[in-house]
Structures are given as structure tokens and as C-alpha cells.
Copies of this chain bind each other. A is one copy, B any other.
Amino acid sequence: MQLRHDEKINLLVETVRKFLRRKAYFNLQKLLSKTHAADIAKIIDVLHEEHARKSVIAAISSPKIAASVLSEIGRPQIIALVHDMEVKKACAIFQEMSQDDAADILRELPESFSSEILKLMESSRSEEVEELLQYQEDTAGGIMSPQFFALQEHLCVGESISKLQKESNQQEMVFYIYVVNDVEQLVGVISLRQLLMVPPDTLLKDIMTSDVIRVTTAEDQEVVAQLVSTYNILAVPVVDDSNKLVGIVTVDDVIDVIREEATEDFLKMATVGNADILELSSLKNFRARFPWLLASFFSGSMAFFIIRGFGSALSNIAVLSGFIPIVLGMGGNVGTQTSAVIVRGIATGKIAFHQLWKVLFKELSVGALLALSYGVILGLCAHFYASSYVHLGWIVGLSLFFVMIIASILGVFVPLIFERFHFDPALATGPFITTGIDVLSTLIFFNLTHLFFHVTS
């Protein structure tokens, strides 16, 4: 992927580094004043030295731009940057930040520091932020903005446009005008374009769409994202339990949610948890990953004891142990393939628990075809390679066949059952499936060996 946009950023970063080396803070300030907040955020992301980042933030003269920059950079960096700021300066920046971003960041700052900032903020604003802080981070309430544009249903279009001109300065992204009744319950929606299309004396309630897609504050952020992408809308209104309009979630926040959830699922499947290798210290990364490897350690240990239990078979046919990596490896690979399809299918809403049997049947028929072909291939190879052991081909081929079938079944069952009981299916593959497949594979392989020898000797 060639980002010409990246080249622009690289150029900016080099210039910033040059100014920092020469301590040319005035030049830096001038450069930043002409740079888009999103680009400044990118520069800060690329500058890995803590003091360089702080100098850049310090060189942004307008608190409003500093606020936009902070909203765009990664969480761990913000905390570090804000934490060392003077409270007054931090407060000036938070004052300018959209309330949802402010709440997100304050949530992660030390209690004492964040409450000091809230105390210094204008009370109307700090109240709104404090209200947002009550909601869970990954719910509609946690990601919504309390800045929306709502009008009473009995207004006419002309009045609405002049209200829009007067009051909407603060709302950066106005696409829809929400219509509320006397007790502020959401009753309809009108697009900005619709307003332009009708005579000024038309009443809002006569042109509004009253079947508004909405969510409650407690709704999972993934559901909000699904709604936005299903209905191609730019914002979802958020209501409280009494249907009172309390905020909106805009499409730019939804994009962040989609990216974030995809990253999370991706890393969970690879058993990394949420480790961020460049941002977290090595020790923190170590702590995040260590427990995930325990599953692999235990399944390996169990395989060890199973193999030890069949020690006599192994010493009789030394060649057998050579097949352990291929049987376990292929089983693990099929298990990962299957569970990845299911986990992603669940995440994108294409597969649900009630389809368990249908999915299982489909996946099992694919798994059986793969198991049959690789089983035959490996069996034949083993037979011709070590023809002195009469049954070796059968043992190895059948083992691989059964292992691959069982891996397919586990790959379907584990994520769907996790989903059914409201555990995260992305967590399933890593520890559970790997462990299950390793242990079952070893058991199958050695029991088949034992069987063939028992029967034939």
C-alpha cells in the first residue's frame, strides 16, 4: 500500500524533528498552525520520544486545535501527555474538546487529576461530561455525543432554518435534525436537505420521518455499528429508557468502533489479548501475553503424558514419533481455519447460534473432504516410506483423518457455544481449541496405534 498521504506526513515529521533539534519553537508553532489537527496527531504518533511529543503539544497555540489533536491520537499516548500538563492548560484543552472524547480520556486519567480538571471546567460543560462518565465505555451511552440538534415538532421549516443558523455553531456535524415532542421524547427525523426542499411554512411534523432508527444508552457499541452499516445512516440517535433524546452517535465514531472491534478480534484469535507493542512497555507486553501461552503449555504437557503412557508402542516403532508434528500441526491448522470462519461470521452477523446444525453440517462436509484427501495422502506416504511396518499407513492415515474431522467439529462448536452463553467467541480459538485439538489428536494417534498392535499381535 503506497500512501502518498504518508509521504506528506514523513516530510512534516522530518521538518518537526529539525525544528526540535534546533529548538526553533517559533517556527514549529508556525508550521503547526498551518497543519490539519489529524496530521498533527499522526506526527505525534510517529514521534516516539516522549519529550518530542510534549514539545509538539506545547507548540500548539490554540487550545481548540490541541483538543482536536488529542481526540485523534492513541489512548496510551494521551494519558502520558495530559498527565504531565499543568492542570490549567489541560482544562483549557478539555473545555474545547467534544464531550464524548473528553469523557473517554478523563475515564483513564488518575481520579485525582481528572476531578481537578472537572472542577476547573465551566459547570455546564463539566456536568455534561460527568453525565457521560456514568455510561459503560463500550455502550451507545459511552460513545455518544450530547451535542445534537433537536427541534420541537410544532415548528415550521422557516423557523427551523433560522434556529439552525443561530444555534448550530457548536455542532460540528449536523446531518439530521431530530424532532422531539414537548417532553423531549424523540418523535421524528428530517435531513438537512429535506428542509431545503419544502416551503418555509411547512410544519416539521408534516414532513418528518417518524419511524426513526434509535438505540438506548445501554446498547452495545457493536449493535450501533451494525445499524449504521446496515441502514447506511450518518448518525444514530440515543434515547434513555423513557425515549428522551440524550445524544447521537455519529458515523466517524462508528468507524472507530468497527476498526477497534476488528483489531480486538484479530488479536484475541492470535492470543495476544490487547497488547500494543509500540505503546506498552516490554514488561507490560510480557504480562499481557504470558497467561495466553499457559494454555499452549498445558496442552503440550498433557500431550507429553499421553505420549509417555504409550511409551512402549513408541519404542517398538521408533518411526511413529516422527509423525507427531504433522498430525498435531494439520489438526491445529484445520481447527484454526474453521473457528476463524465462524468467529468472523458471528462478528459480522452472518452466523448465529440458531444455525448451529446447518453450519456444522456444512463445515463437517468440507472437513471430511479435507480429512479424507490428506488422510489418504499421508497414509500412502507412510506406507511406502516405512513398508516394513505393516499397519503404519493405516495408523497414520486414519489418525490424521479423525483428527481433522474432530478439529472441524470443535472449530464450529466452541465459538458458537461461547456466543450462546455470552462469552466472547474470539477468545475461543486461542486457548480452548488449541488445547482441545492437541490433547485429542495425541489420544487418537496413540490409541489407534495401540489398537492396531493389540489386534494384530
- Chain A 292-309 per-residue mask, 1 if CB under 8 angstroms from chain B, else 0: 110011011101110110
B226 pairs with A3, CB closer than 8 A: yes
Which chain B residues border A326 with CB–CB below 8 Å?
296-297, 300-301, 303-304
- Chain A 275-289 per-residue mask, 1 if CB under 8 angstroms from chain B, else 0: 101100011011001
Among A297, A305, A339, A355, chain B packs the most CB atoms within 10 A around the CB of A297
Asked whether any CB of chain B lies closer than 8 Å to the CB of A380, the reply is no
Q: Please tell me which one of the listed residues B5, B168, B271, B324 contacts residue A324 in the complex, with CB atoms under 8 A apart.
A: B324
Q: Please tell me which one of the listed residues B232, B271, B344 contacts residue A266 in the complex, with CB atoms under 8 A apart.
A: B344
B300 pairs with A329, CB closer than 8 A: yes
Q: How many residues of A contact B (CB 8 A)?
A: 120
Which chain B residues border A438 with CB–CB below 8 Å?
325, 329
Asked whether any CB of chain B lies closer than 8 Å to the CB of A145, the reply is no
User: With A282-B369, A321-B324, A333-B296 known to touch, is A340 a contact of B266 (CB < 8 Å)?
Assistant: yes
User: With A226-B5, A366-B277 known to touch, is A334 a contact of B270 (CB < 8 Å)?
Assistant: no
Among A232, A325, A348, A355, chain B packs the most CB atoms within 10 A around the CB of A325
User: Chain A interface secondary structure, helix, strand, loop or mixed?
Assistant: helix
Asked whether any CB of chain B lies closer than 8 Å to the CB of A231, the reply is yes
B223 pairs with A259, CB closer than 8 A: no
| Nearest 9 Cβ contacts at the A-B interface | A300-B326, A270-B340, A262-B262, A321-B321, A303-B325, A232-B252, A307-B322, A282-B365, A304-B322
> A229-B256, A254-B255, A285-B362 are known contacts; what are 11 more A-B pairs with Cβ within 8 Å?
A271-B337, A277-B359, A278-B362, A286-B369, A299-B329, A300-B330, A308-B322, A311-B318, A321-B321, A321-B324, A325-B438
- 30 A–B contacts from the bound complex (CB under 8 Å): A1-B223, A3-B226, A3-B349, A5-B226, A6-B349, A36-B231, A38-B231, A42-B230, A192-B193, A251-B251, A251-B255, A271-B336, A272-B337, A272-B340, A277-B341, A277-B362, A278-B359, A282-B366, A286-B369, A286-B370, A289-B370, A290-B373, A296-B333, A297-B326, A297-B377, A300-B327, A308-B319, A308-B322, A314-B321, A329-B332
